[in-house]
Structure 1
Amino acid sequence: MTPEPALGDMERKHSPPLSEAAFTLLVQGVLDYGIFMLDPQGYVVSWNAGAERIKGYTADEIVGRHFSTFYPPEDKSAGKPQWELETAIAEGRLEDEGWRIRSDGSRFWANVVITALWDDEGVLRGFGKVTRDMSERRAAQEALSERRRLFDHLVQAQETERRRIAWDVHDDSIQVMVAVGMRLQLLQGRVPEESATELARLDASVREAISSLRNLTFRLHPPGIDRHGLVEALSNHLDDVVGPWGLAFSFRHRLDREPTPETSITIFRIVQEALLNVRKHARGSAVTLEVESVDRGILTRLVDDGIGEPLSSNAVHDHFGIIEMRERAQTAGGWWSMHSEPGTGTTVEFWVPSPEPVEAPTEEPR
């Protein structure tokens, strides 16, 4: 007589392998992903805790129902559920993002992967479906896009206002001052010598004021900033402005692509202000400007060889130019910093994100 197997042997014989049991436990316990199976016709045959959390159905409520239950009416009308199954059969898998419906009728944005499951004989046994709720990520992306849209509008509005002020100064204030200068020159030949000397001084003051106003209009709206790329705009500014100051300069750039106009303007304005600070305060002889693509953005570094000075917290927070540079970088979603020590010069460094330019939609041919 054959001895009966011990109870422990019977349990091992009829229990699934440990790896299979562990895998089932893993799938059933995952909460961040809805993981379930469909039969070849698309009816739900299994349901995990993650699917219940994301979609709101218990296993008793959903097993046996067609997976098109999860799709909004417009997708059902368009035949999207059946098309997804057919695509998964033809290509082995399908990945999609779109709206899905919870048990209470509310919508959520889902990432879905459907995989066709075949047995060893090549017979379709059903589909594996993995769903993840991407609503929070989509909301964050939309918030970021809205912030970028508002930032672009802000930059455009600022540049429009700068351009208007530059035109007003050029067409009104400068022209009035030029007319005053011409009248002073005419009067110099009609008055006594002692008065002519005073008029000459006034004329010199008027000429100096005209020069200052012209420099102001250039700073407000440098020619070509909205027509050329960032590298050319910075290079031209160094040649046309910094060179005549008597500062030696070097410019290194490593950009993987041209930034959007709004990003270019932001970088240009910060560099423009930093260079102006070098001229006013650094008492140096040379500057180095570096611009490079880093971490899906643009890192800019301006180093001078000036006297340098310890930066007190009050100086950093109260200086208008520093405030403007920092706020421009932060408004763009980046950061700004300045390092300075006596005898070592000053380094201004900032990073701003460089989003992909949005292409205008092309009109469909009629």
Structure 2
Amino acid sequence: MIGSPNHELDPEAYRAMVEGAPAILYLDRPDELSTNLYTSPQIVDLLGYSVEEWMRDAELWVRSLHPADRERVVQEHRASNADRERFMSEYRILAKDGREVWIRDEAVPVDAKDGTVQYWRGVMVDITAQKQAEDKLRASLNEVKRMVAQRRDLAQRLENAQEEERRRIAADIHDDPIQVMSAVDMRLQLLLDRPERVDAHELGELAEELRSSIDRLRNLLFELRPVVLDLEGLTPAIGMYLEHVAKDTGWTWEVIDELDLEPLPEARVAFYRIAQEVVANVRKHANATHVEVRLTSVDGGLLLRITDDGEGFDPSETPQPGHLGLATVTERAELTGGWCRIESEPSHGSVIECWMPLGVPAESD
């Protein structure tokens, strides 16, 4: 409490009461400069000024106000003086040594017997710690909001990538196996219409087209989700995928299993998708001759390390269209609470490490 507005000034009693308070108490004249009548000794600890310095210079308070707060606080102070209303303000003030101190300043007018304002009785409390705590809390909340927005954005981008992949697979099935099978069906209908003219060579061609379409369908199904991932586990599935890709690339490959235990089924999918995406990226852009995949149990999660001896690249450069695979990999890992690290330079191959906790959320295929 600052005090009752109708209390006779008793400097000695007032001084005895306030000198132990954890704040600066003061009395000011009701003039334009609010000339100081009394300032408690706590000003030495709070702002570094002696009582004599503070009381001697009527403009010191205004000059010490933080430049960003000065105009506002002076206007509030003048308005309180003019209206004889309680003054309340929070502002920054610069201590003698240049420190920035947050102050909560409250003052009330004390009336003389004739009804005029005799003086202002006020208290300045150091609220720097409170403001710093508020700033930290605000920064933490902003960081949480940023992370939530980032995760929402990552989830949307992954969903878009999955949808694009579904469209690509649907187009592949429509443009290749389905059209081939439709053509085979039409030719078979023609043969059925004229069985006496059936040609063994033509039947052989039809059979070969069917076998080719079946192989392409199997490849598409393998890319969607290999059965071995569920039946045998993560390492065999990655090995089978590398073997599958090696048929086209001619590279040599190796999978090193250093896992303490097999990931749960829902976690295998996330790990497999990242390995698949990295290997696909190497296939498209690296011109590698050897790829090594190492699976290691680390810090309650799985560390996937993929090394290739390809052309390498500059990770700091913005990915070009068609080269966004590694960005998707990073997003997948971060969405599960993990991380990815890329080490590469032109002509020196690449090393890509991704870590994710074993208890990653289930991922839809």
What band does the TM-score fall into relative to the shorter chain? 0.3 to 0.5
Greater relative contact order: 1 or 2 (C-alpha under 8 angstroms, separation 6 or more)? 2
Q: Which has the larger radius of gyration?
A: 2
